[in-house]
Structure 1
Amino acid sequence: MKRRVFLGAVGSTASLGTLAYATRGSSETLDVRIWFSERAATYDGVADRIHEYLEEMLALDYWTLELSVGGTVSVSTEDAARLTTRGEWPMAVAAGELGRRDIERVSDVNLLVTDGGMEEAPTGYGIPHVASVGGARHIAELEPYDELVTDEARSIVPLTTPARTIQVLVHEIGHALGLAHEHGVAFIYEGALVATPMLSAYAWAPEYDAESSRCGTTIPAADDRERKLSLSFSSCARRALAPGGSVDS
Protein backbone atom coordinates (compact mmCIF):
# COMPACT_ATOMS: atom_id res chain seq x y z
CA MET A 1 0.00 0.00 0.00
CA LYS A 2 1.35 3.43 -0.88
CA ARG A 3 2.21 5.66 2.09
CA ARG A 4 -0.27 8.42 1.36
CA VAL A 5 -1.60 10.70 4.04
CA PHE A 6 -4.33 13.30 4.20
CA LEU A 7 -3.53 15.83 6.89
CA GLY A 8 -6.80 17.73 6.76
CA ALA A 9 -7.26 21.45 6.65
CA VAL A 10 -4.25 22.99 8.32
CA GLY A 11 -5.67 26.50 8.65
CA SER A 12 -3.40 28.68 10.73
CA THR A 13 -1.22 25.74 11.70
CA ALA A 14 1.06 26.01 8.71
CA SER A 15 3.82 25.19 11.16
CA LEU A 16 3.15 21.56 10.22
CA GLY A 17 6.02 22.29 7.89
CA THR A 18 8.32 22.09 10.91
CA LEU A 19 7.67 18.33 10.86
CA ALA A 20 7.93 17.85 7.14
CA TYR A 21 11.66 17.60 6.54
CA ALA A 22 11.81 14.23 4.83
CA THR A 23 15.03 12.70 6.10
CA ARG A 24 17.10 12.61 9.27
CA GLY A 25 20.08 14.86 9.65
CA SER A 26 23.57 13.53 10.21
CA SER A 27 23.25 13.53 13.99
CA GLU A 28 24.94 10.66 15.78
CA THR A 29 21.92 10.43 18.09
CA LEU A 30 18.56 8.87 17.20
CA ASP A 31 15.93 10.56 19.34
CA VAL A 32 12.66 8.64 19.79
CA ARG A 33 9.89 9.87 22.09
CA ILE A 34 6.84 7.75 22.91
CA TRP A 35 3.41 8.94 23.93
CA PHE A 36 0.42 6.84 24.96
CA SER A 37 -3.29 7.29 24.57
CA GLU A 38 -5.02 7.39 27.94
CA ARG A 39 -6.30 3.86 27.43
CA ALA A 40 -2.95 2.48 26.28
CA ALA A 41 -1.29 3.90 29.39
CA THR A 42 -3.47 1.72 31.65
CA TYR A 43 -1.54 -1.46 30.79
CA ASP A 44 1.09 -2.28 33.38
CA GLY A 45 4.63 -2.38 32.04
CA VAL A 46 3.84 -1.35 28.47
CA ALA A 47 6.30 1.57 28.48
CA ASP A 48 9.06 -0.56 29.99
CA ARG A 49 8.49 -3.34 27.47
CA ILE A 50 8.65 -0.93 24.50
CA HIS A 51 11.81 0.62 25.92
CA GLU A 52 13.39 -2.84 26.36
CA TYR A 53 12.60 -3.96 22.81
CA LEU A 54 13.59 -0.71 21.11
CA GLU A 55 16.91 -0.75 22.94
CA GLU A 56 17.59 -4.00 21.09
CA MET A 57 15.81 -3.36 17.79
CA LEU A 58 17.30 0.10 17.19
CA ALA A 59 20.78 -0.68 18.48
CA LEU A 60 22.84 0.26 15.41
CA ASP A 61 26.53 1.12 15.49
CA TYR A 62 26.25 4.54 13.87
CA TRP A 63 23.95 6.23 16.40
CA THR A 64 23.33 6.51 20.10
CA LEU A 65 19.70 5.79 20.89
CA GLU A 66 17.84 8.29 23.07
CA LEU A 67 14.47 6.91 24.21
CA SER A 68 12.01 8.92 26.27
CA VAL A 69 8.35 8.88 27.24
CA GLY A 70 6.37 12.04 26.55
CA GLY A 71 3.33 11.09 28.64
CA THR A 72 -0.33 10.53 27.79
CA VAL A 73 -2.39 12.16 25.07
CA SER A 74 -6.16 12.49 24.83
CA VAL A 75 -7.29 11.15 21.44
CA SER A 76 -10.61 10.91 19.61
CA THR A 77 -10.13 7.25 18.66
CA GLU A 78 -7.87 4.31 19.46
CA ASP A 79 -7.51 3.65 15.71
CA ALA A 80 -3.81 4.44 15.44
CA ALA A 81 -3.64 4.61 11.65
CA ARG A 82 -6.57 7.02 11.48
CA LEU A 83 -4.96 9.34 14.04
CA THR A 84 -2.08 9.93 11.64
CA THR A 85 -3.78 9.65 8.25
CA ARG A 86 -6.49 12.13 9.26
CA GLY A 87 -3.95 14.48 10.77
CA GLU A 88 -4.91 14.41 14.44
CA TRP A 89 -1.56 13.18 15.76
CA PRO A 90 0.68 15.16 13.35
CA MET A 91 -1.30 18.32 14.14
CA ALA A 92 -1.03 17.67 17.88
CA VAL A 93 2.76 17.41 17.54
CA ALA A 94 2.82 20.62 15.48
CA ALA A 95 0.61 22.36 18.07
CA GLY A 96 3.09 21.34 20.74
CA GLU A 97 5.84 23.05 18.77
CA LEU A 98 3.76 26.24 18.92
CA GLY A 99 3.13 25.87 22.64
CA ARG A 100 -0.56 25.14 22.10
CA ARG A 101 -0.34 21.55 23.41
CA ASP A 102 1.67 20.01 26.21
CA ILE A 103 3.63 17.95 23.70
CA GLU A 104 7.36 18.51 23.36
CA ARG A 105 8.46 16.87 20.13
CA VAL A 106 11.87 15.41 19.34
CA SER A 107 13.70 15.75 16.05
CA ASP A 108 13.62 12.14 14.83
CA VAL A 109 10.55 10.07 15.79
CA ASN A 110 7.43 11.09 17.70
CA LEU A 111 5.51 7.86 18.26
CA LEU A 112 1.98 7.53 19.65
CA VAL A 113 0.91 4.12 20.99
CA THR A 114 -2.81 3.41 21.34
CA ASP A 115 -5.03 0.53 22.37
CA GLY A 116 -6.23 0.03 18.80
CA GLY A 117 -6.87 -3.46 17.46
CA MET A 118 -4.32 -5.44 15.48
CA GLU A 119 -6.76 -7.62 13.56
CA GLU A 120 -7.38 -5.46 10.50
CA ALA A 121 -4.77 -3.45 8.60
CA PRO A 122 -3.69 -0.73 8.72
CA THR A 123 -2.85 -1.00 12.41
CA GLY A 124 -0.43 1.93 12.39
CA TYR A 125 0.98 4.63 10.15
CA GLY A 126 4.19 6.57 9.77
CA ILE A 127 5.12 9.79 7.97
CA PRO A 128 8.35 11.77 8.34
CA HIS A 129 9.14 12.09 12.06
CA VAL A 130 5.62 11.12 13.19
CA ALA A 131 4.10 7.67 13.70
CA SER A 132 1.28 5.91 15.50
CA VAL A 133 0.58 2.25 16.24
CA GLY A 134 -2.08 0.28 18.11
CA GLY A 135 -1.80 -2.87 20.18
CA ALA A 136 -0.76 -1.60 23.62
CA ARG A 137 -2.44 -4.55 25.33
CA HIS A 138 -0.45 -7.00 23.22
CA ILE A 139 2.85 -5.26 23.86
CA ALA A 140 2.16 -5.51 27.58
CA GLU A 141 1.87 -9.30 27.12
CA LEU A 142 5.28 -9.67 25.46
CA GLU A 143 7.87 -11.87 27.07
CA PRO A 144 11.22 -10.25 27.86
CA TYR A 145 13.31 -9.82 24.70
CA ASP A 146 15.95 -12.35 25.74
CA GLU A 147 13.27 -14.99 26.30
CA LEU A 148 11.45 -14.42 23.00
CA VAL A 149 14.31 -14.15 20.50
CA THR A 150 15.39 -17.57 19.23
CA ASP A 151 18.29 -16.45 17.03
CA GLU A 152 20.36 -13.58 18.36
CA ALA A 153 22.06 -12.69 15.06
CA ARG A 154 18.78 -12.39 13.14
CA SER A 155 16.43 -11.59 16.05
CA ILE A 156 13.94 -14.23 14.90
CA VAL A 157 10.71 -14.66 16.86
CA PRO A 158 7.52 -16.70 16.44
CA LEU A 159 4.59 -15.13 14.61
CA THR A 160 2.32 -14.23 17.53
CA THR A 161 0.11 -11.19 17.98
CA PRO A 162 2.39 -9.59 20.62
CA ALA A 163 5.49 -10.18 18.48
CA ARG A 164 3.76 -8.87 15.36
CA THR A 165 2.66 -5.79 17.30
CA ILE A 166 6.16 -4.84 18.38
CA GLN A 167 7.40 -5.49 14.82
CA VAL A 168 4.69 -3.18 13.45
CA LEU A 169 5.77 -0.58 16.00
CA VAL A 170 9.34 -0.57 14.68
CA HIS A 171 7.96 -0.77 11.11
CA GLU A 172 6.19 2.56 11.66
CA ILE A 173 9.34 4.02 13.22
CA GLY A 174 11.09 2.96 10.01
CA HIS A 175 8.54 4.90 7.96
CA ALA A 176 9.02 7.92 10.23
CA LEU A 177 12.74 7.73 9.40
CA GLY A 178 12.04 7.55 5.67
CA LEU A 179 12.15 3.81 5.01
CA ALA A 180 9.67 2.14 2.66
CA HIS A 181 8.22 -1.36 2.55
CA GLU A 182 10.74 -2.08 -0.21
CA HIS A 183 13.56 -1.83 2.38
CA GLY A 184 12.28 -5.08 3.89
CA VAL A 185 13.26 -8.62 2.93
CA ALA A 186 12.10 -12.17 3.57
CA PHE A 187 14.33 -15.23 3.84
CA ILE A 188 14.16 -18.91 4.65
CA TYR A 189 15.56 -19.93 8.02
CA GLU A 190 15.32 -23.51 9.30
CA GLY A 191 12.45 -24.10 6.89
CA ALA A 192 10.43 -21.05 7.98
CA LEU A 193 9.71 -17.92 5.96
CA VAL A 194 10.99 -14.97 8.00
CA ALA A 195 10.03 -11.34 7.32
CA THR A 196 12.00 -8.31 8.48
CA PRO A 197 10.21 -5.24 9.90
CA MET A 198 9.73 -3.09 6.80
CA LEU A 199 8.25 -6.02 4.83
CA SER A 200 6.42 -7.67 7.74
CA ALA A 201 3.19 -9.48 6.79
CA TYR A 202 3.47 -8.26 3.19
CA ALA A 203 5.84 -11.24 2.82
CA TRP A 204 2.83 -13.56 2.57
CA ALA A 205 0.31 -11.17 1.01
CA PRO A 206 -0.42 -12.35 -2.57
CA GLU A 207 -1.25 -8.82 -3.72
CA TYR A 208 2.10 -7.34 -2.66
CA ASP A 209 4.41 -6.28 -5.52
CA ALA A 210 7.47 -8.30 -4.68
CA GLU A 211 9.37 -7.00 -7.71
CA SER A 212 9.79 -3.51 -6.19
CA SER A 213 12.36 -4.47 -3.56
CA ARG A 214 15.21 -1.99 -3.15
CA CYS A 215 17.33 -4.70 -1.53
CA GLY A 216 18.05 -6.78 -4.62
CA THR A 217 16.18 -9.80 -3.28
CA THR A 218 12.95 -11.60 -4.06
CA ILE A 219 10.40 -12.94 -1.61
CA PRO A 220 10.58 -16.73 -1.36
CA ALA A 221 7.33 -18.59 -1.98
CA ALA A 222 5.38 -19.01 1.24
CA ASP A 223 3.99 -22.41 0.20
CA ASP A 224 3.16 -24.27 3.41
CA ARG A 225 6.14 -22.91 5.31
CA GLU A 226 5.96 -21.82 8.92
CA ARG A 227 5.92 -18.04 9.22
CA LYS A 228 8.21 -16.14 11.56
CA LEU A 229 9.32 -12.56 12.13
CA SER A 230 12.66 -10.86 12.46
CA LEU A 231 12.94 -7.89 14.78
CA SER A 232 16.04 -6.58 12.98
CA PHE A 233 16.01 -4.20 10.02
CA SER A 234 17.37 -5.72 6.82
CA SER A 235 20.95 -4.90 5.86
CA CYS A 236 19.78 -2.59 3.07
CA ALA A 237 17.47 -0.74 5.48
CA ARG A 238 20.39 -0.27 7.84
CA ARG A 239 22.55 1.05 5.00
CA ALA A 240 19.82 3.52 4.06
CA LEU A 241 19.66 4.82 7.64
CA ALA A 242 23.43 5.13 8.04
CA PRO A 243 25.15 8.53 7.76
CA GLY A 244 25.56 9.22 4.07
CA GLY A 245 22.97 6.59 3.18
CA SER A 246 19.84 7.29 1.17
CA VAL A 247 16.34 5.97 1.77
CA ASP A 248 15.72 6.41 -1.98
CA SER A 249 18.08 3.60 -2.91
Structure 2
Amino acid sequence: MKTIFITGATSGIGKATAETFAKQGHRLIICGRRKEVLEQLQIELSNITEVYSLVFDVRNQEEVENAIHSLPEEWKNIDVLVNNAGNAHGLESISEGNIADWDAMMDGNVKGLLYVSQPIIKIMKERNTGHIINISSVAARQTYANGVVYCASKRAVDVISEGMRIELTEFGIKVTNIQPGAVETDFSKVRFKGDEQRAATVYAGYEALKAEDIADAISYCVNAPERVSIAELCIYPKAQAEPRTIFRK
Protein backbone atom coordinates (compact mmCIF):
# COMPACT_ATOMS: atom_id res chain seq x y z
CA MET A 1 0.00 0.00 0.00
CA LYS A 2 1.37 3.39 -1.04
CA THR A 3 0.50 6.94 0.01
CA ILE A 4 -0.33 8.79 -3.20
CA PHE A 5 -0.60 12.59 -3.49
CA ILE A 6 -2.73 13.77 -6.44
CA THR A 7 -3.20 17.39 -7.52
CA GLY A 8 -6.20 18.45 -9.58
CA ALA A 9 -8.13 15.52 -8.13
CA THR A 10 -11.63 17.01 -8.41
CA SER A 11 -12.21 16.20 -12.09
CA GLY A 12 -10.89 14.59 -15.24
CA ILE A 13 -7.64 12.64 -15.15
CA GLY A 14 -6.98 13.51 -11.50
CA LYS A 15 -10.33 12.18 -10.31
CA ALA A 16 -10.05 9.03 -12.44
CA THR A 17 -6.56 8.44 -11.06
CA ALA A 18 -7.79 8.82 -7.48
CA GLU A 19 -10.62 6.36 -8.14
CA THR A 20 -8.26 3.84 -9.74
CA PHE A 21 -5.76 3.90 -6.88
CA ALA A 22 -8.55 3.81 -4.27
CA LYS A 23 -9.82 0.55 -5.78
CA GLN A 24 -6.30 -0.84 -5.44
CA GLY A 25 -6.26 -0.01 -1.72
CA HIS A 26 -3.67 2.76 -1.78
CA ARG A 27 -3.97 5.67 0.67
CA LEU A 28 -4.79 8.96 -1.04
CA ILE A 29 -4.06 12.63 -0.46
CA ILE A 30 -6.41 14.38 -2.88
CA CYS A 31 -5.88 18.05 -3.65
CA GLY A 32 -7.85 20.75 -5.43
CA ARG A 33 -9.29 24.25 -5.28
CA ARG A 34 -12.99 23.38 -4.99
CA LYS A 35 -13.57 22.55 -1.35
CA GLU A 36 -17.10 21.16 -1.68
CA VAL A 37 -16.24 18.94 -4.64
CA LEU A 38 -13.11 17.70 -2.89
CA GLU A 39 -15.02 16.88 0.28
CA GLN A 40 -17.63 14.94 -1.70
CA LEU A 41 -14.93 12.93 -3.44
CA GLN A 42 -13.30 12.23 -0.08
CA ILE A 43 -16.60 10.89 1.27
CA GLU A 44 -17.05 8.62 -1.77
CA LEU A 45 -13.53 7.22 -1.75
CA SER A 46 -13.35 6.82 2.04
CA ASN A 47 -15.74 3.90 1.65
CA ILE A 48 -12.91 1.86 0.14
CA THR A 49 -9.63 3.37 1.36
CA GLU A 50 -8.03 6.00 3.62
CA VAL A 51 -8.33 9.50 2.16
CA TYR A 52 -7.00 12.90 3.27
CA SER A 53 -7.86 16.09 1.40
CA LEU A 54 -6.01 19.39 0.99
CA VAL A 55 -7.59 22.53 -0.46
CA PHE A 56 -5.15 24.84 -2.25
CA ASP A 57 -4.38 26.47 -5.58
CA VAL A 58 -1.09 25.18 -7.02
CA ARG A 59 -0.43 28.68 -8.38
CA ASN A 60 -0.15 30.07 -4.85
CA GLN A 61 3.19 29.01 -3.39
CA GLU A 62 2.28 30.00 0.16
CA GLU A 63 -0.96 27.99 0.03
CA VAL A 64 0.95 24.98 -1.30
CA GLU A 65 3.62 25.14 1.40
CA ASN A 66 1.11 25.60 4.21
CA ALA A 67 -1.08 22.76 2.96
CA ILE A 68 1.74 20.23 2.64
CA HIS A 69 3.25 21.21 5.99
CA SER A 70 -0.18 20.81 7.60
CA LEU A 71 -0.27 17.10 6.85
CA PRO A 72 -0.46 14.95 9.99
CA GLU A 73 2.73 13.01 10.70
CA GLU A 74 1.18 9.71 9.59
CA TRP A 75 0.45 11.19 6.15
CA LYS A 76 3.82 12.82 5.44
CA ASN A 77 5.63 9.80 4.01
CA ILE A 78 4.42 10.34 0.45
CA ASP A 79 5.37 7.50 -1.91
CA VAL A 80 3.91 8.85 -5.15
CA LEU A 81 3.24 12.40 -6.38
CA VAL A 82 0.92 12.81 -9.38
CA ASN A 83 1.35 16.35 -10.71
CA ASN A 84 -1.92 16.48 -12.61
CA ALA A 85 -3.20 20.01 -11.91
CA GLY A 86 -2.96 22.27 -14.94
CA ASN A 87 -4.99 24.22 -17.43
CA ALA A 88 -5.39 25.58 -20.93
CA HIS A 89 -6.94 28.99 -21.53
CA GLY A 90 -7.87 30.45 -24.88
CA LEU A 91 -6.96 29.54 -28.43
CA GLU A 92 -5.58 32.72 -29.95
CA SER A 93 -2.44 33.79 -31.76
CA ILE A 94 0.38 35.41 -29.80
CA SER A 95 -0.57 38.81 -31.24
CA GLU A 96 -4.15 38.44 -29.98
CA GLY A 97 -3.51 36.43 -26.83
CA ASN A 98 -4.90 37.37 -23.44
CA ILE A 99 -2.09 38.07 -20.95
CA ALA A 100 -4.20 36.76 -18.06
CA ASP A 101 -4.59 33.47 -19.94
CA TRP A 102 -0.83 33.25 -20.43
CA ASP A 103 -0.23 33.86 -16.73
CA ALA A 104 -2.79 31.22 -15.74
CA MET A 105 -1.12 28.58 -17.92
CA MET A 106 2.45 29.36 -16.92
CA ASP A 107 1.54 29.74 -13.24
CA GLY A 108 -0.48 26.52 -13.14
CA ASN A 109 1.32 24.21 -15.54
CA VAL A 110 4.91 25.19 -14.74
CA LYS A 111 5.29 27.15 -11.52
CA GLY A 112 2.51 25.24 -9.76
CA LEU A 113 4.15 21.92 -10.60
CA LEU A 114 7.41 23.19 -9.13
CA TYR A 115 5.74 24.61 -6.01
CA VAL A 116 4.15 21.23 -5.22
CA SER A 117 7.16 19.15 -6.19
CA GLN A 118 9.85 20.88 -4.14
CA PRO A 119 8.62 20.09 -0.60
CA ILE A 120 7.61 16.56 -1.59
CA ILE A 121 10.96 15.91 -3.26
CA LYS A 122 12.65 16.85 0.01
CA ILE A 123 10.53 14.23 1.80
CA MET A 124 11.35 11.60 -0.83
CA LYS A 125 15.08 12.34 -0.78
CA GLU A 126 15.19 11.86 2.99
CA ARG A 127 13.60 8.43 2.53
CA ASN A 128 15.61 7.50 -0.60
CA THR A 129 12.47 6.38 -2.37
CA GLY A 130 9.52 7.78 -4.28
CA HIS A 131 7.88 8.22 -7.66
CA ILE A 132 6.87 11.46 -9.39
CA ILE A 133 4.36 11.38 -12.25
CA ASN A 134 4.16 14.58 -14.30
CA ILE A 135 1.25 15.06 -16.69
CA SER A 136 2.50 16.82 -19.80
CA SER A 137 0.76 16.71 -23.21
CA VAL A 138 1.37 15.79 -26.82
CA ALA A 139 1.33 19.58 -27.25
CA ALA A 140 4.89 19.43 -25.90
CA ARG A 141 5.90 17.34 -28.92
CA GLN A 142 4.58 19.61 -31.66
CA THR A 143 3.74 23.30 -31.36
CA TYR A 144 0.50 24.35 -33.02
CA ALA A 145 -0.81 27.75 -34.09
CA ASN A 146 -2.96 29.62 -31.54
CA GLY A 147 -1.79 27.36 -28.74
CA VAL A 148 1.83 28.45 -28.50
CA VAL A 149 1.86 29.40 -24.82
CA TYR A 150 0.08 26.21 -23.78
CA CYS A 151 2.53 24.17 -25.86
CA ALA A 152 5.43 26.03 -24.27
CA SER A 153 4.12 25.36 -20.77
CA LYS A 154 3.86 21.64 -21.48
CA ARG A 155 7.28 21.47 -23.10
CA ALA A 156 8.55 23.00 -19.87
CA VAL A 157 6.97 20.06 -18.03
CA ASP A 158 8.97 17.71 -20.27
CA VAL A 159 12.19 19.57 -19.45
CA ILE A 160 11.41 19.61 -15.73
CA SER A 161 10.71 15.87 -15.81
CA GLU A 162 14.04 15.23 -17.50
CA GLY A 163 15.81 17.44 -14.97
CA MET A 164 14.11 15.70 -12.06
CA ARG A 165 15.25 12.33 -13.39
CA ILE A 166 18.84 13.54 -13.67
CA GLU A 167 18.79 14.96 -10.13
CA LEU A 168 16.78 12.27 -8.36
CA THR A 169 17.71 8.87 -9.76
CA GLU A 170 20.61 8.54 -7.33
CA PHE A 171 18.10 8.92 -4.48
CA GLY A 172 15.99 5.99 -5.67
CA ILE A 173 13.22 8.28 -6.97
CA LYS A 174 11.50 7.41 -10.23
CA VAL A 175 10.24 10.13 -12.56
CA THR A 176 7.61 9.47 -15.24
CA ASN A 177 6.47 12.01 -17.83
CA ILE A 178 3.11 11.24 -19.45
CA GLN A 179 1.93 12.98 -22.63
CA PRO A 180 -1.79 12.44 -23.27
CA GLY A 181 -3.36 13.24 -26.61
CA ALA A 182 -7.03 14.22 -26.92
CA VAL A 183 -8.83 13.21 -23.71
CA GLU A 184 -12.54 13.97 -23.34
CA THR A 185 -12.72 15.85 -20.03
CA ASP A 186 -13.61 19.41 -19.02
CA PHE A 187 -10.28 20.50 -20.56
CA SER A 188 -11.81 22.15 -23.63
CA LYS A 189 -14.70 23.61 -21.64
CA VAL A 190 -12.14 25.41 -19.48
CA ARG A 191 -10.08 26.43 -22.50
CA PHE A 192 -13.13 28.00 -24.14
CA LYS A 193 -14.31 29.60 -20.90
CA GLY A 194 -17.46 27.56 -20.47
CA ASP A 195 -18.56 27.51 -24.13
CA GLU A 196 -19.86 23.92 -24.14
CA GLN A 197 -20.88 23.97 -27.79
CA ARG A 198 -17.41 24.96 -28.95
CA ALA A 199 -15.81 22.49 -26.54
CA ALA A 200 -17.96 19.66 -27.92
CA THR A 201 -16.56 20.19 -31.42
CA VAL A 202 -13.10 19.22 -30.17
CA TYR A 203 -14.31 15.66 -29.53
CA ALA A 204 -16.77 15.33 -32.44
CA GLY A 205 -16.46 12.63 -35.11
CA TYR A 206 -14.03 10.26 -33.37
CA GLU A 207 -13.54 8.41 -30.10
CA ALA A 208 -11.30 10.44 -27.82
CA LEU A 209 -9.39 8.99 -24.91
CA LYS A 210 -11.17 8.78 -21.58
CA ALA A 211 -9.71 10.01 -18.29
CA GLU A 212 -9.73 6.37 -17.14
CA ASP A 213 -7.32 5.45 -19.97
CA ILE A 214 -4.69 7.84 -18.61
CA ALA A 215 -5.39 6.70 -15.04
CA ASP A 216 -4.74 3.11 -16.14
CA ALA A 217 -1.42 4.17 -17.65
CA ILE A 218 -0.43 6.00 -14.47
CA SER A 219 -1.40 2.91 -12.47
CA TYR A 220 0.80 0.72 -14.66
CA CYS A 221 3.79 3.01 -14.17
CA VAL A 222 3.33 3.12 -10.39
CA ASN A 223 2.67 -0.60 -9.98
CA ALA A 224 5.45 -1.83 -12.27
CA PRO A 225 8.24 -3.84 -10.59
CA GLU A 226 10.63 -1.76 -8.48
CA ARG A 227 13.40 -2.33 -11.04
CA VAL A 228 11.27 -0.75 -13.80
CA SER A 229 11.13 3.01 -14.36
CA ILE A 230 8.90 4.29 -17.17
CA ALA A 231 10.57 7.54 -18.19
CA GLU A 232 8.12 8.73 -20.85
CA LEU A 233 4.73 7.63 -22.14
CA CYS A 234 2.89 9.21 -25.08
CA ILE A 235 -0.76 8.19 -25.45
CA TYR A 236 -2.98 9.07 -28.42
CA PRO A 237 -6.53 8.04 -29.20
CA LYS A 238 -6.59 5.69 -32.19
CA ALA A 239 -7.88 8.46 -34.48
CA GLN A 240 -5.10 10.95 -33.66
CA ALA A 241 -1.91 10.77 -35.69
CA GLU A 242 -0.07 13.71 -34.11
CA PRO A 243 -1.13 16.74 -32.03
CA ARG A 244 -2.64 18.63 -34.98
CA THR A 245 -4.13 15.70 -36.93
CA ILE A 246 -7.31 13.87 -35.94
CA PHE A 247 -9.25 11.75 -38.44
CA ARG A 248 -12.96 12.34 -37.95
CA LYS A 249 -15.87 10.45 -39.46
**TM-score normalised by L of structure 1:** 0.28
- Say which structure is richer in helix: 2
